[in-house]
Amino acid sequence: MPLDSRELVETLSMVHSQHLDIRTVTLGVDLRDCADPDPRNCARKAAEKICRVAGRLVPTARQIEEEYGIPIVNTRLSVTPVSWFGAACQPLDFLPIAQALDSAAASLGVDFLGGYSALVEKEMSVAASALIKSIPDALAATHRLCASVNVGSTQVGLNMEAIALMGRIIAACAARTAASDGSACARLVVFCNAVPDNPFMAGAFYGAGEGETGLSVGISGPGAVLAALRDLGPDRNLLDVAETIKRIAFKITRAGELIGRRVAERIGVPFNIVDLSLAPTPAPGDSIGDILEAMGVEKAGGPGTIAALALLNDAVKRGGAMATGRAGGLSGAFIPICEDATLARRASEGVLSLETLEALTAVCSVGLDMIAVPGDTPPETLAALIADEAAIGLSHHKTTAVRIIPAPGKKAGDRVEFGGLLGGGPVMSVSSVRAADFVRRGGRIPPPVGALRN
């Protein structure tokens, strides 16, 4: 059946006035064959392999963008966790690898490279521990490198030793980049139930079970959802709202999958997954907060917010799962405060609190995302916040994440600016109730008994 002009106009306006874009095409590269006892050799092999495999990624993405008329906002790389392929190095000095990966990413023109990562949900290996302790140096010495640490899973529980350590690491990252409001923390994610095929930063790594290479796509499109809800009007019931979001999510996902497949074809790598996460940007009208408010919650963060986000999250998955058989990654709504102008505004007005964001974690993915907090927040409090978020993931069999920035020298109510996609926002207040005695106990929080499924 030929296209009718209504369909043509709908797509054109989704792209040209509603910010429909592809948030990221992320090429995963397995670096396990780059292991070497000499850290410098390991770094060189990794950089060479990335440049060989991903040499055409950026020009191809630009070409596809031109031909299909849909902007590809970021091109990214995800690699095998450095703590895996770097474990053979003697000494365990990962800094040369961090710098080589960052330089390779810069020379290829990709925006971010993820995989400076360790998975320590049960225990920390010697290499994992060394990698985690090197994160502040690695992030301070690089610009595109992203780090992530998995501290828990529904199968094995929460590693409280690792969580306590991450509280101190985050504080150290902020201190190392004090001049830029602690910006290194924006490139560091702490996960529970991390996934091996996430294309979104800062938490992307190319995990166990993935192929030699694979190209994944992260969709965007809050603006298109918002426009559809505004067309629907304020009087239709929430089943109609869900149906409308589902239909738009289908279209956004189909666009994302097509773009991803075409990029993969042209650079000659397998197509991997489509991540069905609606990713906002700081641009006006490209906000998850606006969608919640279009549903009828006066200000995002007020009563009704959790219910509205639950509806949005599920409707996006329904439409997306119908559109692609390749759903993967995180596939849940993101609510990164600094990257979403409306959420940032509501947070600065005091309508959206840290506690509400914690509650929202129950119905979306990555609950405490791009949250700036006072620079004097104790590392034990950061760790306890991580534990709270991870516990939601633990109990609900889902991925949760924390990307929190204790902005040096800043107090609640001040502002931070990171620029670009990372945006900016208010410094949110954190409870002063002490968590140090709880965090200091260490050990592990056991998995829920429901995890024993076999």
Partner 1 sequence: MTSPRRLNQEFAVQIERAGVPNGADRGSRIVLAVIGKDRPGIMAGVTTILANRRANILDVTQTILGGLFTMLMVVDIAEMNGSFSDLKRELEAHGNANALSILVQREEIFHAMHRL
**What are the residues binding partner 1 (CB under 8 A)?**
1-3, 5, 7-12, 16, 63, 66-70, 251, 254-255, 257-259
Which residue number, 7 or 212, has a Cβ lying nearer to partner 1?
A: 7
Amino acid in position 291? I
* Nearest distance, CB of residue 58 and partner 1, angstroms: 16
Tokens 């197509």 locate to 271
Which residue number, 158 or 252, has a Cβ lying nearer to partner 1?
A: 252
* Nearest distance, CB of residue 252 and partner 1, angstroms: 8
Q: Measured between alpha carbons, how far is 355 from 339 in angstroms, rounded to an integer?
A: 19
Backbone angles phi, psi at 338, to 5 degrees: -70, -20
* Nearest distance, CB of residue 3 and partner 1, angstroms: 5
> Do 149 and 132 touch, CB atoms closer than 8 A?
yes
Chain length of the chain: 454
Which residue number, 29 or 259, has a Cβ lying nearer to partner 1?
A: 259
187 CB-near residues (< 8 Å, 6+ apart): 112, 139, 145, 146, 147, 201, 202
Which residue number, 68 or 271, has a Cβ lying nearer to partner 1?
A: 68
* Nearest distance, CB of residue 69 and partner 1, angstroms: 3
Angstrom CA distances, 441 to 127, 154, 226, stand at 24, 21, 46
Q: Measured between alpha carbons, how far is 98 from 145 in angstroms, rounded to an integer?
A: 7
Which residue number, 20 or 138, has a Cβ lying nearer to partner 1?
A: 20
Identify the helix (H) or strand (E) that includes residue 21: none
Which residue number, 11 or 155, has a Cβ lying nearer to partner 1?
A: 11
* Nearest distance, CB of residue 14 and partner 1, angstroms: 8
Angstrom CA distances, 253 to 15, 317, 325, 329, 397, stand at 13, 10, 11, 14, 24
* Nearest distance, CB of residue 225 and partner 1, angstroms: 14
